[in-house]
Amino acid sequence: MATVSVNGTALGVESFGDVDAPLVLLAGGPTMLSWPDALCERLAAGGRRAVRYDLRDSGESTTTDPRAPGYTLRDLAADAAALAHALGGAPAHLAGTGVSGMVAQVAALDHPGAFSALTLVNTRAVAPGPPDDDLPDHDRATMSRLFARPAPDWSDRTAVAEFAATGAEILGDDPITARAVAARIWDRTPGTAPPVQTANHLGTVFAGLGCTPRWRERLPGIGVPTLVVHGRRNRFFPVGNGEAIARAIPGARLLVLDGGATAIPDAAVGAVAEAMLALE
């Protein structure tokens, strides 16, 4: 792993595949480890250079004061465009999942020349908070269970990993995988509380976006091949959110993972990689 400096900030990155191959840029949400190793390896085996990276305020990227992050969603989008240029110069296939899927949508709209294709996984087209009337909101019972749990001791690796595992079970994801990934995240940034980073991304960043029209209304302007991947069992951003994105972006392909929730399950990695490789 390494860091690349763009826009006055350092972004943690990890590369898979030939440095001279077409670039697939995987924006992590909340860290690069949101993207399964197996998917990155499949993309590399398919002749791409897959680079996953940490958004600002996550993983090994630059962190800021949680009370005053001092950046906006558009800054995160500009980071993606600048990173694509720094890593290869040619337009990149940009992929985002969850929060970073929102970043990816704005990046494709604000910096169209930087990207050759777009993959959006388990995300939605409006900022955090109450969604538009035609979009399904978080499942309330699931959210109540998820947020009723007491926070772990963030300095305790085992406790943090177990907290992630129970959260995954509530959301319908694989708790074993979630436990292992959380332990790896902890090893990269010991003692860091992910909710602080997430609060920066979801709070000040999105509340301060203030763009008119909203990016949902701009989605028909995306002119690159687009893949929308969504778990049918996703109770955080129900599948209707992915369906709405796919309807709005001209020519977008929708891939619904019947066994998926908020994460890409191991059994679906091959199908997702194949669909991404076919996009260009």
pLDDT tens string 82-95 = 999 999 888 999 99
Quote the pTM value: 0.93
pLDDT the model gives residue 196: 46
Quick check: 26 pLDDT over 80? yes
Task: Give domain 2-139+192-277's CATH number out of 3.40.50.1820, 3.40.50.460, 1.10.150.20, 2.60.40.10.
Answer: 3.40.50.1820
Dist. CA 126–CA 91, nearest whole Å: 25
Which residues touch 14 (CB under 8 Å, ≥6 apart)?
1, 2, 32, 40, 51, 52, 53
CA distance 11 to 277: 25
Between residues 268 and 214, which one has the greater pLDDT? Answer: 268
Domain residue limits, the chain? 2-139+192-277
Q: Looking at residue 110, what is its pLDDT?
A: 95
- Confidence at residue 217, expressed as pLDDT on a 0 to 100 scale: 92
Calculate what percentage of the chain has a pLDDT beyond 90.
Answer: 72
Instruction: With cut-offs at 50, 70 and 90, classify the pLDDT of residue 192.
Output: low
Is the predicted pLDDT of residue 63 greater than 80, yes or no? no
Residue 208, pLDDT score: 47
> What is the average pLDDT value for the chain, to the nearest integer?
90
Give me the pLDDT at residue 213, please: 67
Summarize pLDDT for 113-160 with one digit per residue, the tens. Answer: 999 999 999 999 988 777 889 999 999 999 999 999 998 988 899 999
pLDDT at 89: 80
Q: Which residue has the higher pLDDT, 46 or 64?
A: 46
272 has pLDDT over 90: yes
83, 114, 272, 239 alpha-carbon torsion, rounded to 10°: 100
Predicted pLDDT of residue 90: 83
Each residue of 226-265: pLDDT tens digit?
999 999 999 999 999 999 999 999 999 999 999 999 999 9
Query: What pLDDT does 70 receive?
Result: 76
Rounded CA-CA distance 280/271 in Å is 16
| pLDDT tops 80 at residue 177 | yes
Average the pLDDT over each of 18-22, 170-174, 212-216 and give the range with the smallest value. Answer: 212-216
